Amino acid sequence: MLRMLRVEGRRTVQSLALWIIFGVMVVVSFWFSGMTFAKFPEEISAAYGMQYGTATPMSRGEYVFLRTMSDASFTAWLSVIAGALLIGMEFSNRTINHLIYAGNRRISILVVKLLYFYLCTLFLSAVYPVASCFRYSLTWFSGLTQSDVAYVLRCVGCRTLIDMAMMSFALVSAFAFRDVIRTLVCSLIIVVVLSQLMNIVRGVGNGALIKNMIDYFPALTINKIMFRDASVENIRRSMLYSCTMILSTWISCHLFFRKANLK
C-alpha cells in the first residue's frame, strides 16, 4: 500500500493540471477574501458574533476565521470536479489497471484512492480559509490563548469531517460509474438537487422528522457548531451524522469496486 501511495504522491507532484488548479485557487482566494472581508467593520463582526449567541463581540481575525470555516458549500462543488478528475479519470483512462497488474488487492487500491482523494480535495478546499486567515487573521492567531487553540483545533477537526462527508456523493458516483463524464454529471445533479431539497425542507415546521434529519445534514450543521459557544450536543450529533455518512460512503465504494468489471 505504501508503494501505491508513493506513486500517487509522485504523480500528483508531476501533474501540471493540479498545480495550475492550485495556483488559480490561491489567486482567486486572495482576491475573493479581499472582496468579502476588507470592507467589513468591527461592528458587523460583533453583530455576526451576537447572531450566533457569542457572549463577546469577535475581533476581525476571529470573525474571518469563523466565516471561512463556516462556508463549506465550495467543498461540495470542488468534490464534484475532484471526483471526476482524480478517480473517474483513472477508470476512463484505465490507469487504475496498473495498480491491479502490480498485484495489489482491490481493498488496498480502494483505501489508497480514498486517501488520495481526501488529501487532494481537503488540501484544495483549505486554500480559501488559509488565504483569508493569512491575510486578515494573523494578528488574532499570534495572540491565541490555550482555549483559543482548542477552539481552532475543534473547528478544523469538525470542518475536516464535514468536508469528508460532503465529498461522499462524488466518491460514490466515481466508484459506481467508473467514468469521468458520468461521475461529473451524476454528482453534479445530486449536489444541485440536494441543495434545492434542503432549501425546501428547511421551510417545513419545526418538530417534523424530516426537518430534524435535514438539520443535521453535515452541510447544514456547520453554522451550529463552528462558533465558540456551540453546544456539545450539537457538535456530537453533527459529527455522528458526518461519520455515518463517511462510513456509508466507504462501504458503498467497496461494494461497487469489489467485483467490478474494469475496462
Q: Which residues bind other proteins (CB under 8 A)?
A: 3-4, 6-7, 10-11, 14-17, 93-95, 97-106, 259, 261-263
User: Over the chain, what HEC string results?
Assistant: CHHHHHHHHHHHHHCHHHHHHHHHHHHHHHHHHHHHHCCCCHHHHHHHHHHCCCCCCCCHHHHHHHHHHHCCHHHHHHHHHHHHHHHHHHHHCCCCHHHHHCCCCHHHHHHHHHHHHHHHHHHHHCHHHHHHHHHHCHHHHHCCCHHHHHHHHHHHHHHHHHHHHHCHHHHHHHHHHCCHHHHHHHHHHHHHHHHHHHHHHHCCCCCCHHHHHHHCCHHHHHHHHCCCCCCHHHHHHHHHHHHHHHHHHHHHHHHHHHCCCCC
**Cβ of residue 138: shortest distance to other proteins, in angstroms?**
37
**Cβ of residue 183: shortest distance to other proteins, in angstroms?**
19
**Cβ of residue 12: shortest distance to other proteins, in angstroms?**
12
Q: How far apart are CA 14 and CA 66, in angstroms?
A: 34
**Cβ of residue 82: shortest distance to other proteins, in angstroms?**
17
Residue closer to other proteins by CB (options 14, 142) is: 14
**Cβ of residue 108: shortest distance to other proteins, in angstroms?**
9
**Cβ of residue 184: shortest distance to other proteins, in angstroms?**
19
Residue closer to other proteins by CB (options 110, 222) is: 110
Distance separating the N- and C-terminal Cα atoms of the chain: 23
Q: How far apart are CA 239 and CA 82, in angstroms?
A: 23
**Alpha carbon of residue 20 to chain centroid:** 20
**Cβ of residue 136: shortest distance to other proteins, in angstroms?**
37
